[in-house]
């Protein structure tokens, strides 16, 4: 069946469903009657879906938001722990905090997700792995997870989706904040933030130190070569930022951060007495400006320099560079984003240039990305439309060899409000991923690799009443020339596909807050029929909390079906995290988190342990504005 015929049939079915729901909901309050308490959960203002500010209820692509309040309530120690179980998000991790982690968005490979921090694409290494896991949660204001193929908005590799991380801005929130956490596995977390302003200038300085005694990353019973000792992790982070208003139309700023970490890890190709440690040093320096030189045109310009250094040790001695003992990367990125407001919509246009240089195993890998985009979004009565197009060129150079690939991508979407309660959405899009320089010319590289080509479609229905906001989406994606690592080299395989249903529900029902996500999918190699590694057919989560006076109780249940890791089947799992909060006064709060309350033994990667039951307490000082 052709995509257009399928689209027509599903839209007809959804229209009938919308008509039925509209009749059933006729006696229910409209969304306009939401209380101020309900709105932040059900309909926050977001930016990622069309790169313009929109209420969440008006976006066409699939998007969820994790607010600052939710971050604090979760008590999660790392970003990976926080997003596990979110709609469309699956993870793999080689042990505890700080270890190698993978993020699978909408069933796509981990290198097919783009991560942006304050609008700047996160640095990657020579094989496309994202520098992600070391971002301290205390530095983050909110996270927007945009799911599905959005290469026409965000460029190369934005295939499974985009994770947009927004850090805390100066001049917002209390002047001084601090938090101290302690708990199982000799875990300690110290955070302090100073925030102030002077006339037209705003300042912010944040510091965090996190350490954990950890647990053995690998399972000794599955590999006798593994050292069964505890694998520790520690990290120190400093974030600084200054904003200054030159005029009501022009503001400039400078932000800088430095993150240093060290994590012990296990190797299955050693002896049980060996110890291994990976040290990571990363830093970013960004100069940015926000300009409104015309009444209806807003421009954002940023220039970022990033450094990344990996040092690998065995038995306290650094490995040689040819054995991967030292990997160093630099990245320079320039972004120019423009938004022109129209009477009933907006036009966006801009440029992005990224130049990266990575030295690994005695080789130097250079990569240059240049992209330009154009987009239009508008509303006419009950109809919303979104159209985006982008052109990207990617060049990779290593050992005197060069490969250049370019592609044009597009996205087209519509939303129709069938009633005050029911909304239908549909979209189609294309994207691509150019081979990373290391995949072409690095260890096991293949200079003959072709770019991946992707197409995707979504059909959705949203129902929003005073009882909550529910969205059901059918998604489908197809990948041609998928790049995989097999038989000690990178190769293209014919076709990879995924299709499924995704359900999201959020509500504030009196004192109870509910957040539910569930996904049913079938990510597989279309030629062999094999399921894609470490991805489940069904997974989801349920968050439930209740606030009464100074107390708050809640928990999160994360569930996943079985997954395949090579030829090994990883068992299904259900993990329950519980928490309780007590506000001592307007400035002081105590929170206690019971992680993996039922002490489930499960694996995200074959042979690697996950955290056992642990209890953690946090004392937080946060004066009111």
Domain map (residue ranges) of the chain: 3-621
Q: Which pLDDT score, from 0 to 100, does residue 20 have?
A: 47
Q: Residue 108, CB half-sphere, CA atoms under 13 Å: how many?
A: 34
DSSP state at residue 117: E
Q: How does the average pLDDT of the chain come out, rounded?
A: 89
- Residue 33: pLDDT band by 50, 70, 90 thresholds? very low
Q: Which residue has the tokens 């308490």?
A: 37
Share of the chain above pLDDT 90, in %: 73
pLDDT of residue 105: 96
pLDDT, residue 439, reads: 84
What pLDDT, on the 0 to 100 scale, is given for residue 604? 96
Whole-model pTM above 0.85?
Answer: yes
pLDDT at 246 over 80: yes
- Residues 350-388, buried b or exposed e (16+ Cβ, 10 A)? bebebebbbbbbebebbbbbbbbbebbbeeeeeebbbbb
Say whether pLDDT at 553 is over 80: yes
CATH 2.40.170.20 fits 3-621, yes or no: yes
Mean of pLDDT values over 102-107: 94
Burial class (CB in 10 A: 0-12, 13-18, 19+), 182: middle
* DSSP assignment of 250-269: EEEEEEEEEEEEEEEE--TT
Is the pLDDT score of 362 beyond 90? no
**In 295-451, at which residue ranges do the beta strands (DSSP E only) sit?**
297-314, 317-318, 326-341, 345-360, 363-380, 383-398, 401-417, 422-433
Q: What is the mean pLDDT of residues 309-318?
A: 93
Say if residue 24's pLDDT is above 70: no
Residue 6, pLDDT above cutoff 80: no
What pLDDT is recorded for position 128?
61
Quick one: pLDDT at residue 507?
A: 94
Q: What is the pLDDT of residues 528-550, one digit of tens each?
A: 999 999 999 999 999 999 999 99
Cα gap 157→150, rounded to integer Å: 9
The residue-averaged pLDDT of 236-249 equals 95
337-353 confidence digits (pLDDT tens): 999 999 999 999 999 99
Place of tokens 């990353």: 217
Mean pLDDT for 415-432 is: 96
Query: pLDDT tier at 485 (50, 70, 90 boundaries)?
Result: confident
Percentage of the chain surpassing pLDDT 70?
Answer: 91
Res 11 pLDDT > 60: no
Residue 501 has pLDDT above 60, yes or no: yes
pLDDT tier at 609 (50, 70, 90 boundaries)? Answer: very high
In this predicted structure, the answer to whether residue 286 has a pLDDT above a threshold of 50 is: yes
Q: Residues 504-525: what's their mean pLDDT? A: 95
Q: What is the largest CA-CA distance in the chain?
A: 71
Residues 6+ apart with CB under 8 A from 452: 112, 159, 432, 433, 479, 480, 481, 482, 483, 492
pLDDT band with cut points at 50, 70 and 90 for residue 506: very high
For the cut 70, the answer to whether the pLDDT of residue 26 exceeds it is: no
Per-residue pLDDT, 18 = 44
pLDDT of residue 324: 80
Task: Report in angstroms the alpha-carbon separations of 268 from 92, 223, 273, 307, 564.
Answer: 17, 7, 12, 30, 19
Q: In 3D, which of 593, 584, 596, 577 has the Cα closest to residue 622?
A: 584
Q: What is the pLDDT of residues 212-229, one digit of tens each?
A: 999 999 998 888 888 999
pLDDT of residue 14: 45
> Can you tell me the mean pLDDT for 140-164?
95
Could you tell me which residue, 238 or 133, shows the higher pLDDT?
238
pLDDT the model gives residue 136 = 87
Encode pLDDT of 369-385 as tens digits: 999 999 999 999 999 99
Helix (H, G, I), strand (E, B) or coil at 156: coil
Residue 332 has pLDDT above 70, yes or no: yes
Q: What is the DSSP letter of 562?
A: -
- Kindly indicate the confidence band of residue 37, based on its pLDDT and cuts at 50, 70 and 90: low
pLDDT of residue 1: 46
Residues 430-471 pLDDT 10s = 999 999 888 887 777 888 899 999 999 999 999 999 899 999
With residue 151 as reference, give the H or E element that holds it.
Answer: helix 151-154
Give pLDDT tens digits for 573-596. 999 999 999 999 999 999 999 999
* pLDDT for res 360: 79
Q: State residue 130's pLDDT score.
A: 67
């Amino acid at each position: 069946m052709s995509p257009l015929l399928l689209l027509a049939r599903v839209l007809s079915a959804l229209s009938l469903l919308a008509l039925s729901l509209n009749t059933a909901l006729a006696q229910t309050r409209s969304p306009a009657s939401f209380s101020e308490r309900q709105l932040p959960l059900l309909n926050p203002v977001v930016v990622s879906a069309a790169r313009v500010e929109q209420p969440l209820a008006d976006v066409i692509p699939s998007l969820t938001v994790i607010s600052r309040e939710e971050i604090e309530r979760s008590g999660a120690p790392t970003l990976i722990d926080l997003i596990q179980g979110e709609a469309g998000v699956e993870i793999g991790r080689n042990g505890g905090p700080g270890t190698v982690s993978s993020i699978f968005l909408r069933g796509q490979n981990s290198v097919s997700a783009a991560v942006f921090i304050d609008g700047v694409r996160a640095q990657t290494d020579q094989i496309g792995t994202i520098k992600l896991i070391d971002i301290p949660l205390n530095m983050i204001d909110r996270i927007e997870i945009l799911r599905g193929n959005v290469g026409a908005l965000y460029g190369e590799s934005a295939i499974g989706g985009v994770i947009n991380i927004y850090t805390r801005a100066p001049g917002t929130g209390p002047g001084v904040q601090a938090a101290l956490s302690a708990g199982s596995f000799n875990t300690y977390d110290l955070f302090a933030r100073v925030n102030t302003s002077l006339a037209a200038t705003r300042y912010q300085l944040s510091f965090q130190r996190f350490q954990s005694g950890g647990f053995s990353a690998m399972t000794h019973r599955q590999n006798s070569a593994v050292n069964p000792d505890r694998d520790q992790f520690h990290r120190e982070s400093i974030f600084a930022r200054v904003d200054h208003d030159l005029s009501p139309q022009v503001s400039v700023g400078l932000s800088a951060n430095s993150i240093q970490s060290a994590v012990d890890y296990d190797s299955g190709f050693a002896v049980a007495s060996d110890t291994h440690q990976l040290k990571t040093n990363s830093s970013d320096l960004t100069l940015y400006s926000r300009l409104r030189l015309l009444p209806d045109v807003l421009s954002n310009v940023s220039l970022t320099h990033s450094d990344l250094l990996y040092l690998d040790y065995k038995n306290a001695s650094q490995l040689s560079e040819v054995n991967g003992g030292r990997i160093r990367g630099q990245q320079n990125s320039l972004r120019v984003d423009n938004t022109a407001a129209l009477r009933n919509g907006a036009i966006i246009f801009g440029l992005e240039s990224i130049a990266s240089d990575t030295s690994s195993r005695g080789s130097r890998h250079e990569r240059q990305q240049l992209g330009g985009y154009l987009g239009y979004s508008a509303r006419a009565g009950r109809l919303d439309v979104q159209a985006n197009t982008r052109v990207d060129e990617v060049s990779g150079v290593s050992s005197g060899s060069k490969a250049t690939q370019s592609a044009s991508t597009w996205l087209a979407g519509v939303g129709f409000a069938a009633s005050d309660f029911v909304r239908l959405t549909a979209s189609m899009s294309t994207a691509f991923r150019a081979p990373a320089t290391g995949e072409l010319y690095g260890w096991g590289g293949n200079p003959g690799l072709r770019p991946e080509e992707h197409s995707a479609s979504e059909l959705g229905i949203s129902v929003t009443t005073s009882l909550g906001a529910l969205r059901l989406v059918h998604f489908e994606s197809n990948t041609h020339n998928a790049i995989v690592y097999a038989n000690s080299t990178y190769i293209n395989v014919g076709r990879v596909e995924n299709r499924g249903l995704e359900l999201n529900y959020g509500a504030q029902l009196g004192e109870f807050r509910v957040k539910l996500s569930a996904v049913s999918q079938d990510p597989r190699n279309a030629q062999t029929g094999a399921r894609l590694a470490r991805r489940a057919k069904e997974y989801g989560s349920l968050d439930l909390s209740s606030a009464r006076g100074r107390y708050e109780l809640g928990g999160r249940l994360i569930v996943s079906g079985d997954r395949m890791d090579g030829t090994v089947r990883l068992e299904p799992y259900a993990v329950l995290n519980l928490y309780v909060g007590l506000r001592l006064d307007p400035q002081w709060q105590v929170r206690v988190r019971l992680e993996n309350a039922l002490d489930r033994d499960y694996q995200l990667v074959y042979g690697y342990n996950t955290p056992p039951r642990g209890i953690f307490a946090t004392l937080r000082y946060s004066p009111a504005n």
